[in-house]
Structure 1
Amino acid sequence: MLNWTTQFSGRTARMQASEIRELLKLLDDPNILSFAGGIPDPELFPAEAFRSAYGEVLSDDRSGQALQYAVSEGFAPLRRWIAGYMARFGIDCGIDNIMITSGSQQALDYLGKLFLSPGDTALVGWPTYLGALQAFNAYEPTYARLEPFGNETPEALRAAAEAVGGAVKFAYTTPDFANPTGETLSVAARVRLLEQAEALDCAVIEDAAYQALRYSGEDVAPILKLDIDRSGHIDATRTIFCGSFSKTLSPGLRLGWVVAAKPVVQRLVLIKQAADLNTSAVNQMVMARVAETIFDEQVERIRTAYGHRLESMLQALRDFMPEGVTWNEPDGGMFVWVRLPEGQDCAELLKASVRDIQVAFVPGKAFFADGSGANYLRLNFSLLKPERIREGMERLGKLIASRL
């Protein structure tokens, strides 16, 4: 029998199972209160709009196009809608600056493939989105902290990257309601990040998966908008904007997009041609129809629902968490980031929580490139109703108190 492990490439050793994807299996157990996944509430999906759009697409004279191979760049009407959507934020781009991807996760994988050679450095948050680390890990980078107002100078970051045989290739950030922390970068921090990237002559990857999910406060200009203001034109920018329909309309259709300078998009198209040829044509055509008709209405609907659930979670944390436990209070997104006292291990807490009180969450360690952060945990508030959120936080607060 073939020993498969001896045949796998060395890079596969850096690929690890997602703790979040494994925890999603708990959703099949109705007895578990799960705050683990970044899961939209399926009751809020615009199912009727999608049902109608599929019927229209498959019944009109374009049904052959819908079921056929398609161009790798993506369905032109959907890219035109995205160009109009980006214009709302002051981002002037054409469809040649846009490529459709199979979810923004595919975009992160492609960008890792595009930029990273073994030993190159990626600047990431500490913590940062676990899916980004998984996407980049396969390309064997070194990670360094992305801290716009930190002590590390561009010269020091460059020297550290060269010392391990590579270069700083990009800074990756989720500037709005970050996963897992819920934090939003200020305009000053975004400008500072661009200044650092200019000094390092590297790209900036702006993961905007949660941008539409603001429940309070004022919108902050996207990094790409600030970059265009500095450089004068999108084709002169270094920022790559990754958008997604997963948090607003449907995660199941697996549709995201990249907006960037044409040379970046052109090279990403070549990667896509080699990987999967094109994103599902029928799904793109359906999404174009749904986005054109109900996007704003749908976003307002989920903002109202999720905003109420966020307030319910924050109040429950105030009511039930013991002294010594702290958390952030985000203005949007899907997550609250909780810090337990030093010495607490949230991976061990999770085992006890699922076993004893039937509550699931994500231990924070998975979000740190260096494996630190054992005393942090991430809570999702978008999936459960307010009364269930309160019940879960009461159970979890009592368990944590018993372990301090």
Structure 2
Amino acid sequence: MLDWEKIYATRTKRMGASEIRELLKLLEQPDIISFAGGIPDPALFPSEDFQEAYNDILSGPEAGQALQYSVSEGYPRLREWIVQRMRARGINADIGNIFITSGSQQGLDYLGKLLLSPGDTALVTWPTYLGALQAFNAYEPRYDKLDLSRNASPEDYAAAARDAGSRVKFAYLSADFANPSGESLTPMEREKLLDIAEALDIAVIEDAAYRALRYDGERQKTLLTMDCERNGGIENTRTLYCGSFSKTLSPGLRVGWICAATPVIKRLVLAKQAADLHSPTINQMAIARVAEKSFNEQAEKITRVYGSRRDAMLDALAKHMPAGVHWHKPEGGMFIWLTMPEHIDSAALLALSLKTAKVAFVPGNAFYADGSGGNHMRLSFSCSSPEVIEEGIGRLGALLAEQLAAAA
């Protein structure tokens, strides 16, 4: 029998199961209240609009095109719609700057493949999106902590990389409502990030998956918008904007995009051709039709619902969490990030919670490149009613109070 472990590539040692994907299985257990998966509420999907779109496509003159091979760049009508969205944000893009991916997760994988050689340094926040770490890990990078609140200079990052026999290739982060922290960059932090990237001459990967989900506060410019303003247009920028329809229209159709300078888009097209040729054409067509018809109305509907659920969770946390547990109010997104006393191990707490309180969450260490962050947890409010949120946070708060009292 073949010993597969001996012939796997070295990169497979950096591949691990997604704790979130595993926790999503708990959604099938009726006795578990899950605040784990950061997923949209299926009750809010524009299902009728999609039914109409697919019927229109398959009964009309584009039926053959919808079921056929297509261009790797993506469906032109959808890319044109995205162009108009980007231009509304001050980004002077055209269709050649838009590349369709099978969800923004595929975009992160392609960017890791395009930019990382083994040992290269990626700057990421502590914590950062678990899916980004999984995408980049396959290309064997070294990680360094991107912390815009401290006085680290570009030379500090460069020197740390040199000492490790490495060089910095890009900075990755979400500027708006980051997963998992829910935090957003201030205008000053956005400027600082671009300053650092220019000094290091590296790329910036802007993950904008949650940007449409703003509940209050002032909307900020995207990093790509600011980059265009600094450098006279998108062709002179270093920012790679990763967008998605997964949090607004449908995650199951797996449609995302990258907006960037055309030389990068051309390289990404080559990666697409080698991987899966193109994203499913019929799904792109359906997304284009639904986006044209009702994207703004859909965005308004889900922000109203998710915003009320965020408020319900904030109220429940204030009511039920014991002293020593902290969080902040995110202006958007799907998550609230809890910080507990340092002696609390959230992974052990999860195991206990599933047995006793019957509440699921994501342990914090899953979001740290170095495996730290064990005294944090991520709570998602997107799929729970205010009544379920009140019950679940009440159980979780009682369990935490017991653990803190036992350790006192």
Task: Tell me if TM exceeds 0.5.
Answer: yes
User: For the residues of structure 2 that align with 1:156 and 1:119, how far apart are their CA atoms?
Assistant: 18
Per the alignment, residue 65 of structure 2 pairs with: 65
Q: Match of 1:263, as an amino acid?
A: P
For residue 13 of structure 2, give the secondary structure of its aligned residue in structure 1: helix
User: For the residues of structure 1 that align with 2:149 and 2:228, how far apart are their CA atoms?
Assistant: 22
Whether contact under 8 Å (1:121, 1:161) holds in the other structure is yes
Per the alignment, residue 76 of structure 1 pairs with: 76
For residue 123 of structure 2, give the secondary structure of its aligned residue in structure 1: strand
The answer for unaligned runs of 5 or more in structure 2 is none
The 5-angstrom pairing of residues 205-216 of structure 1 reads 205-216=205-216
1:51 aligns with 2:51: yes
Per the alignment, residue 298 of structure 1 pairs with: 298
User: For the residues of structure 2 that align with 1:152 and 1:218, how far apart are their CA atoms?
Assistant: 28
**Per-residue deviation at 1:149?**
3.6
Whether contact under 8 Å (1:148, 1:196) holds in the other structure is no
For residue 347 of structure 1, give the secondary structure of its aligned residue in structure 2: helix
**Runs ≥4 in structure 1, deviation > 6 angstroms?**
none
Per the alignment, residue 245 of structure 1 pairs with: 245
Per the alignment, residue 349 of structure 2 pairs with: 349
User: For the residues of structure 2 that align with 1:156 and 1:334, how far apart are their CA atoms?
Assistant: 33
**Per-residue deviation at 1:31?**
1.1
Per the alignment, residue 402 of structure 1 pairs with: 402
CA deviations on 1:331-379 (whole Å, 9 max, x unpaired) are 1100000011111000000001111111000000010111111000000
**Per-residue deviation at 1:167?**
1.1
Per the alignment, residue 145 of structure 2 pairs with: 145
For residue 170 of structure 1, give the secondary structure of its aligned residue in structure 2: strand
1:330 aligns with 2:349: no
Whether contact under 8 Å (2:336, 2:378) holds in the other structure is yes
Per the alignment, residue 85 of structure 1 pairs with: 85
For residue 243 of structure 2, give the secondary structure of its aligned residue in structure 1: strand
Q: How many residue pairs get matched?
A: 404
**Per-residue deviation at 1:162?**
2.0
**Per-residue deviation at 1:305?**
0.2
For residue 258 of structure 1, give the secondary structure of its aligned residue in structure 2: strand
Per the alignment, residue 362 of structure 2 pairs with: 362
Per the alignment, residue 183 of structure 1 pairs with: 183
Q: Match of 1:268, as an amino acid?
A: L
Per the alignment, residue 40 of structure 2 pairs with: 40
User: For the residues of structure 2 that align with 1:32 and 1:157, how far apart are their CA atoms?
Assistant: 44
CA deviations on 1:235-274 (whole Å, 9 max, x unpaired) are 0000000000000000000000000000010000000100
For residue 356 of structure 2, give the secondary structure of its aligned residue in structure 1: helix
User: For the residues of structure 1 that align with 2:362 and 2:399, how far apart are their CA atoms?
Assistant: 16
The 5-angstrom pairing of residues 5-404 of structure 1 reads 5-404=5-404
Once superposed, what is the RMSD of the aligned Cα atoms? 0.6
Whether contact under 8 Å (1:35, 1:361) holds in the other structure is yes
For residue 241 of structure 1, give the secondary structure of its aligned residue in structure 2: strand
**Per-residue deviation at 1:157?**
1.1
User: For the residues of structure 1 that align with 2:321 and 2:155, how far apart are their CA atoms?
Assistant: 43
For residue 191 of structure 1, give the secondary structure of its aligned residue in structure 2: helix
CA deviations on 1:201-245 (whole Å, 9 max, x unpaired) are 000000000000000011000000000000001000000000000
For residue 147 of structure 2, give the secondary structure of its aligned residue in structure 1: coil
User: For the residues of structure 1 that align with 2:272 and 2:331, how far apart are their CA atoms?
Assistant: 35
User: For the residues of structure 1 that align with 2:149 and 2:389, how far apart are their CA atoms?
Assistant: 35
Q: Match of 1:142, as an amino acid?
A: R
Q: Match of 1:128, as an amino acid?
A: T
Q: Match of 1:194, as an amino acid?
A: L
User: For the residues of structure 2 that align with 1:88 and 1:233, how far apart are their CA atoms?
Assistant: 14
Q: Match of 1:133, as an amino acid?
A: L
Identity value in percent: 61
**Per-residue deviation at 1:148?**
2.2
The answer for unaligned runs of 5 or more in structure 1 is none
For residue 205 of structure 1, give the secondary structure of its aligned residue in structure 2: strand
User: For the residues of structure 2 that align with 1:386 and 1:39, how far apart are their CA atoms?
Assistant: 16
TM-score calculated relative to the size of structure 2: 0.98
Whether contact under 8 Å (1:171, 1:204) holds in the other structure is yes
For residue 282 of structure 1, give the secondary structure of its aligned residue in structure 2: helix
Whether contact under 8 Å (1:110, 1:268) holds in the other structure is yes
For residue 312 of structure 1, give the secondary structure of its aligned residue in structure 2: helix
User: For the residues of structure 2 that align with 1:357 and 1:163, how far apart are their CA atoms?
Assistant: 47
CA deviations on 1:19-61 (whole Å, 9 max, x unpaired) are 0000000001111100001110000000000011000001101
**Per-residue deviation at 1:151?**
2.8
TM-score calculated relative to the size of structure 1: 0.99
